[in-house]
Amino acid sequence: MSNSFVLAAALLLAPALGAPAPQVTVPASFGPDSQVSASVQPSTTGYRPEYLENGYSSATYHGPYTGTPTTLGAADGPTTLAASIPALPPNPTATYYNTEGVPLNPLPAPYTPAGGLGTNGTLPRYMVESDFDFESIALGLYQEWIELDLFHDGLARFSDADFDAAGLGPEARSLIQFMADQETGHSTLLTNMLGERAPQQCVYDYPYTTVREWVDFMQRVTRFGESGVWGFINHLDSREVGQLLAQSIATEARQQQIFRQMSGLTPMNVWFENGWPQSWSWTHLAPYISYCPENTTRLAWQNFPTLRILNNANINRYSPNDTAQDGSETVGPRIADPSRSNITGSCENLNVTGYGCGPAIARNKSEPLSFPGKKILFQWDAPGQPVGPNQSYVTSTTAGAPKFVGWSQQLNLTYSPLTVTSNDTGYTYQPEGFVYGNEGIINGTMAVMLTDVDLFVTPFNVSLLNPHIVALGLYQAG
Percent of the chain predicted with pLDDT > 70: 88
Q: What is the largest CA-CA distance in the chain?
A: 69
Interval 320-378: pLDDT, tens: 999 999 999 999 999 999 999 999 999 999 999 999 999 999 998 889 999 999 999 99
Q: How far is CA 169 from CA 17, 55, 161, 164, in A?
A: 23, 15, 9, 5
What's the Cα-to-Cα distance from 137 to each of 74, 147, 293, 373, 435, rounded to whole Å?
16, 15, 19, 39, 30
Q: What is the mean pLDDT of residues 205-231?
A: 98
The larger pLDDT score, comparing residue 58 to residue 463, is at 463
Tell me what the pLDDT averaged over the chain comes to: 89
In degrees rounded to 5, what are phi and psi of residue 211?
A: -60, -45
pLDDT recorded at residue 24: 32
37-41, 60-64, 175-179, 442-446: range with lowest mean pLDDT? 37-41
SS (H, E, C) 447-467: EEEEECCCCCCCCCCHHHHHH
In this prediction, residue 339 carries a pLDDT of 98
Q: How far apart are the C-alpha atoms of 57 and 177, rounded to whole Å?
A: 10
- pLDDT level of residue 21 (50, 70, 90 thresholds): very low
When pLDDT is cut at 50, 70 and 90, the band that residue 20 belongs to is: very low
Residue 49 pLDDT grade (very low, low, confident, very high; cuts 50, 70, 90): low
Inform me whether the pLDDT recorded for 286 exceeds 80. Answer: yes
pLDDT at residue number 53: 58
Mean pLDDT of 6-14: 36
Q: What is the pTM of this model?
A: 0.87
Enumerate the β-bridge partners of residue 475.
Answer: 446
Listed ranges 4-13, 277-286, 355-364; the one with the highest mean pLDDT: 277-286
Percent of the chain topping pLDDT 90 = 78
At position 227, the amino acid (one-letter code) is S
- Residue, of 238 and 21, whose pLDDT is higher: 238
438 φ, ψ (degrees, to nearest 5): -105, 20
Q: Hey, is 379 helix, strand or coil? A: strand
Q: How confident is the model at residue 51 (pLDDT cuts 50, 70, 90)?
A: low
What is the rounded CA–CA span in Å between residue 274 and residue 276? 7
User: What is the pLDDT at residue 54?
Assistant: 67
Is the pLDDT at 83 greater than 90? The verdict is no
Neighbours of 46 (CB within 10 A): 13
